Structure 1
Amino acid sequence: MSRPASDLPGDPARLHLVYTHEHPAVPYEDEDTLEQWHVSIRAFHEEDEECEGGCTKACDILVEDGSEVGYLRLWRLRDYTGADRLLVADAMSGDLESIASAVLDGAEYSDAFEEAIERPVGDLLVLDRVFLSRPWRGFGLGPVFAAEAVRRLSGGCCAVAAEPGMAEWPENKDEVTDAYRATAKTKIAALWESIGFHAFQNGLQLLDTSVQEPLDLHGERRRDLKELSAAFQAHRDGRPAPPRL
């Protein structure tokens, strides 16, 4: 069950997503084939916002740079670079190798992938991790921000892949039973389904960038964010919560 908007530490609609990708002017080794993107989710202090008790120098820093309240990590696995994408993914991490081996058959996309994706030509985007600090969890914001990042980074990609897994371990590791893992993966898979992912194979989910469904669901998640923001503002201002659209 989602937490009420009154629990929010701030207006979620005023958060910013800051995209970062760095590479040398002349890429070397595998950098033409595998790109890492870091998307920082940041809360900024608005210039016209006055803190209770007055603003401080810390507020000036938050106006300029903001404070990170979460992040996303995505990888772009580029085609047509002359490199073996499976080896490149394996050299980076076992998780990426697992995803690449599920969609590739040698240098080409596998038959199963080509059957699942309407136009299986182009790069592959991998949604690797979505993290929010505890005060911002439980409001359904993960899919909202994931959908925004996918929209901006998936140009030229025929699909987006995600492998639902535990993003964070509980303090008591003894709680992590097989049933606990299965429940966590099921919950995360449902979150990604809400932005257009579908079960593929080997626990992998795929989002087809050439179909209409992800665009429609992205619009729904934006409406969710607007409703959550309106409910937060109403609570902050002591007004009744607006009706859901």
Structure 2
Amino acid sequence: MTSKKARRPISELPGDPAHLRFVYSHAHPAEPYEFEDTLEAWGVSVLAPPSDEEDEDYDPNSAPRVGRVSLYRLRDFAEDDRWDAADSWSGDLEVIAAAVLGGYGRRQGYAKAFENRITQPVGDLLILDRVHLDREWRGFGLGPIIAAEAIRRLSPGCCAVAAYPAMSEYPQNREEVTDTYRKRAKKKIAALWESIGFERFRNGVWLLDTALQEPIDLHRARRADLLALSHAYRGASREA
């Protein structure tokens, strides 16, 4: 048995996906340095669901991590140059900064194209960088569900969420990674982000407008997908 969103049989699910746990983390020194007051790095650990026996005594500190989401918050009205802050971290973040910001300099705001696209272009920018799941949890449509939940918790105060679909994992044989392979992988990733409210912007960057109703509706739809997947898992478990 499979669900509409799953590419693998439900019987291969390692546990009830509705019982996955999320732990959010962000650490910084008391005195920020090297852009840490401008660019915040957030990590979301996806923890394995508890078994029936340990449900009441579930300890997130000892639970296995089966996935991770990495996000960044680029603060508006920051002391540092936001473009420099993004560039100091990674090439992907610099691509996003180049697409959404008006230029270099501490006083530079958002680009006109960004202001014309986003409903209320004032506030921080949340950047969805990577979503990773262990192989045993892949193929069930959980990626967009997990990303939508992380965005739901971390986007308040942000006028938009940005993403730059890029490959985060490669096959064992690197010779398989042709231009066609890369394009197909990026297209697949972009389709996942589109299912939670992202729209194509420019230079390969996608944006989610946090002021719109559509991302809210799509988030609810992904939660419904999770519930359907959970019901299918429980049904398969009873039949086993």
Whether TM exceeds 0.5 here: the answer is yes
Matching residue of 1:72: 69
How many residue pairs get aligned? The number is: 230
Q: CA deviation at 1:150?
A: 0.4
Q: 2:237 & 2:79 partners in 1: Cα distance?
A: 55
Matching residue of 1:158: 159
Say whether 1:98 aligns with 2:116. Answer: no
Q: 2:204 & 2:60 partners in 1: Cα distance?
A: 42
Q: CA deviation at 1:63?
A: 6.7
Query: Percent identity at matched positions?
Result: 59
Say whether 1:38 aligns with 2:57. Answer: no
The letter of the residue matching 1:3 is: R
Contact 2:16 2:49 in 1 (8 A): no
Q: CA deviation at 1:48?
A: 3.0
Matching residue of 2:198: 197
Q: 1:81 & 1:63 partners in 2: Cα distance?
A: 34
Out of 69, 81, 85, which is 2:78 matched to? 81
Q: CA deviation at 1:28?
A: 2.6
1:42-191 matches, cutoff 5 A: 42-46=47-51, 48-49=53-54, 64-106=61-103, 107-191=108-192
The letter of the residue matching 1:90 is: D
Contact 2:17 2:49 in 1 (8 A): no
Contact 1:160 1:206 in 2 (8 A): yes
Q: CA deviation at 1:206?
A: 0.2
Contact 1:123 1:156 in 2 (8 A): yes
Q: CA deviation at 1:37?
A: 0.3
Q: What SS is found at the alignment partner of 2:202? A: coil
Matching residue of 1:10: 15
Contact 1:44 1:65 in 2 (8 A): no
Q: For structure 2, list consecutive stretches of 5 or more residues without a partner in the other structure.
A: 1-5
TM-score, normalised relative to structure 2:
0.91
Q: CA deviation at 1:49?
A: 4.4
C-alpha spacing 1:100/1:124, structure 2 compared with 1 (3 Å): same
Q: 1:105 & 1:62 partners in 2: Cα distance?
A: 46
Contact 2:101 2:109 in 1 (8 A): yes
Q: CA deviation at 1:141?
A: 0.3
Higher gyration radius (CA): 1
Matching residue of 1:238: 239
Matching residue of 1:20: 25
Q: For structure 1, list consecutive stretches of 5 or more residues without a partner in the other structure.
A: 51-59, 240-245
The letter of the residue matching 2:171 is: P
Q: CA deviation at 1:114?
A: 0.8
RMSD value, Cα: 1.8
TM-score, normalised relative to structure 1:
0.89
Q: 2:134 & 2:116 partners in 1: Cα distance?
A: 38
C-alpha spacing 1:40/1:97, structure 2 compared with 1 (3 Å): same
Contact 2:75 2:124 in 1 (8 A): yes
Q: 2:10 & 2:52 partners in 1: Cα distance?
A: 24
Q: What SS is found at the alignment partner of 1:30? A: coil
